[in-house]
Amino acid sequence: MSEEQLLTTTEVAHRLRIKPETIYAYVSRGLLDRVKVPGERISRFRLADVERLAARTQATRPARDAAPAMRTATTLIAYGRLHYRGLDAARLAPVTPFEEIARWLWTGERHAEPFAASAESIERARRASDHLPAQARLFDRLPVVVAVAAAMDPLRFDLAPATVTALAPALLSTMVDALPPAGEAARDDGLAARLWLRLTDLPASAAGLRALNAALVLLADHDLAASTIAVRVAASTRANPYAAVLAGLGALDGPMHGAVGAGVYRMIEAAQREGVPAVVAEWLRTGGLPGFGHSLYPDGDPRGAALLDLVAELSLQGELRRAVDDLIATAARRGALPNVDFAVAALAHATGMGPGAGEVIFAIARTAGWIAHVIEEYAQPGNRFRWNSGYTGPPPASA
């Protein structure tokens, strides 16, 4: 039994959402086995046993508030790691095509066939988004592209899992291929290579594509983030998958969610120009360092660490490398480690992408996870989310 498969009492209590003393009640009733580790005086518990117990107890636990719980078999964030259907995302990212991860999220099966969409859908979506004003961000094109893809799909109101899974590759392909090209097409027909063409005019390198593909994998899902909740609420009303994705894009476009990456990019840009001390002082004065720390990963975001390892293999120019290294070192002295937003911004700088690249990468990647949640939500009772408002206004006027 490897050490990483054994949990402490505190970790088990956090996962099961119970008090530590309740754990030993489970032990005495034979629901959970303790494991003694040579040289240690504390008890540990097998990860697999804890997960089985969690599935049993939490599936039957009544909700404590008025709204039904959102449960998912897609993603688990626990023990400082991100897991897609039980597989460690940070370990998958450097070696697994994004297309394979997307299908794993949707179906629990791993296939890496290329994603494709009809030429007509791509061309119509491109022409529609070309009508946006010149100051529009690249991200602004995505809702237009998704709306056109929906209009082109006569089966969009068929909510059967097989139909949703079948339309998803074409949706992701259209979202990428309808964006205007910035450089020359790569020989690779993978989604990461096609997205590269839309984000930078630099030639694609093997190391660069590997890093971009890893970023897509690492951002594909993150449990019930704000945008995913928006997607699931939309899906609960039986909005079609395209409409649910549009709900997610709306939530993602917030400066405290998907759009945070542009700020991180600007911070790295300013650090190269003005020096790290001045930039850090300014950001701290106005609220804090973006791109560092994560409440779900107190010991460091494994997604950021995995992606930064791949970015380090790229040929970063001297000023950029110094700025990235100095920002990480300065934040570390404050106890903050780089998260995935910082890693994506560093990747964008290293590959000649602009400040808007991060949110586009985020949106394309997260659409894969949203589709998985859409499929799950369609299996639940419809229109099931109705929160109490907690009204605080004036009392009704008397007649």
Instruction: Report phi then psi at 78, rounded to 5.
Output: -160, 155
- Spatial strand order of the sheet with 87-88 comes to 75-78, 81-84, 87-88
Residue with tokens 């586009």, as numbered in its chain: 360
Q: Checking DSSP bridges between strand 43-46 and strand 34-36, what pairing results, if any?
A: antiparallel
Query: How many C-beta atoms surround the C-beta of residue 393 within 10 A?
Result: 6
Q: How far apart are the first and last CA of the chain?
A: 73
Residue 381 vs residues 110, 162, 235, 286: alpha-carbon distances, Å: 29, 19, 11, 45
The answer to whether residues 324 and 346 touch, using CB atoms and an 8 Å cutoff, is yes
Residues assigned a catalytic role:
294, 341
The answer to whether residues 360 and 142 touch, using CB atoms and an 8 Å cutoff, is yes
Handedness of CA 156, 194, 268, 337 (dihedral sign): positive
